Amino acid sequence: MTTLAPPSMRARFTETTTTLLDIDRRIVVLTADIGAAGFAEARRRHPDRVVNVGIREQLLVGAAAGFAMEGFRPIVHSYAPFLVERPYEQIKLDLGHQGVGAILVSTGASFDASAEGRTHQAPADVAIVSALPDWEIYTPGHADELDEILRRSARHTRNVYIRMSSESNVAPRSTVGIEVVRRTEPGQPAVLAIGPALDPTLEATTGLDVGVLYSSSVKPFDGAGLRGAVRGTSLVVVEPFLEATTAGLVNEALADRAMRYTYLGVQDRELRHYGTPLEHQRAHGLDAVSLRNRITLAARS
């Protein structure tokens, strides 16, 4: 049996954004060299609305804010550490505090760039954006989800962070709220997989008596959906970013229940290894085999 590789989010990002540029004159795309080549054709058609500022990420976010102040809808793209961590104060002040909105779309995720090392990895990106008020945060698990989230975000003016990854699920899922992928029976443990963590979670839980839930949205977080879907007293969260990033949101949703929570995510340490994304998953206990052991252990107790 051959399995087709899921389509690339990064390629879809360029396609969808180019379409949005063509159909909506408020859309402006800002890059800092990374990903700029993909917009060369769009730039010929829309020279004023495709802006590559060179390797200048503070200006990247600041200029996006300036466009937003003038009623444009900026889509800002770079590698996750350079988009979110380096210009963090610009995100906090130039967007949030000024009261204007942009769509930040990152690539690289936690360790897509496994061989590049720590400098190109941003496991804490979702956690630090979560620490700012009024942001929407999405970690699509499939290119189709990315497309849907991007088009929807282009229609409003709020601040949105979209975290793309080269890790992708085979099938697209809901981009709104909690989706029940595998129903739980009353009393059974549930596993909530975020974004690209779903396929390894599904593989890991084959044959286990646990329910599987999915969300590509971190904020807004569908607390009501989670309450409805969790029918036991044990919840395992598999998150493709810094471990326990979603803990506050999950605990708040189930605050009145006596629950046991287990958060399986990227560990908070300097790995200092290169290699492949799968090797990094293994190192953090996030590959299907490790996940099966850890979920079994969490579900048993």
With 0-12 CB in 10 A as exposed, 13-18 as middle and 19+ as buried, what is 269? exposed
- Compare residues 12 and 49 and give the one whose CB is closer to another protein: 49
Residue 263 touches another protein, criterion: CB under 8 A? no
* Pair 218, 139: CB distance under 8 Å: yes
Among the listed residues 90, 106, 110, 205, the single contact to another protein using CB under 8 A: 90
- Compare residues 62 and 200 and give the one whose CB is closer to another protein: 62
Among the listed residues 24, 56, 227, 290, the single contact to another protein using CB under 8 A: 56
- Under rule CB under 8 A, which residues in 152-181 are in contact with another protein? none
- Compare residues 23 and 224 and give the one whose CB is closer to another protein: 23
The stretch near another protein (CB under 8 A) out of 60-68, 114-122, 218-226, 289-297 is: 60-68
Contacts 24+ apart (CB under 8 A), 249-257: 249/218, 249/219, 249/221, 249/223, 250/192, 250/221, 250/226, 252/223, 253/221, 253/223, 253/224, 253/226, 253/227, 254/223, 254/226, 254/227, 254/230, 257/230, 257/233
Residue 48 touches another protein, criterion: CB under 8 A? yes
Among the listed residues 13, 39, 72, 135, the single contact to another protein using CB under 8 A: 72
Structure tokens belonging to residue 209: 């008596």
Residue 69 touches another protein, criterion: CB under 8 A? yes
Among the listed residues 98, 119, 251, 293, the single contact to another protein using CB under 8 A: 98
Please state the closest distance from residue 40 (CB atom) to another protein, in A. Answer: 17
- Tell me which amino acid residue 143 is: A
Other CB atoms within a 10 A radius of the CB of residue 1 amount to: 2
* Pair 134, 107: CB distance under 8 Å: no
Chain contacts with another protein (rule: CB under 8 A):
28, 48-49, 51, 53-54, 56, 58-59, 61-72, 89-90, 93-94, 97-99
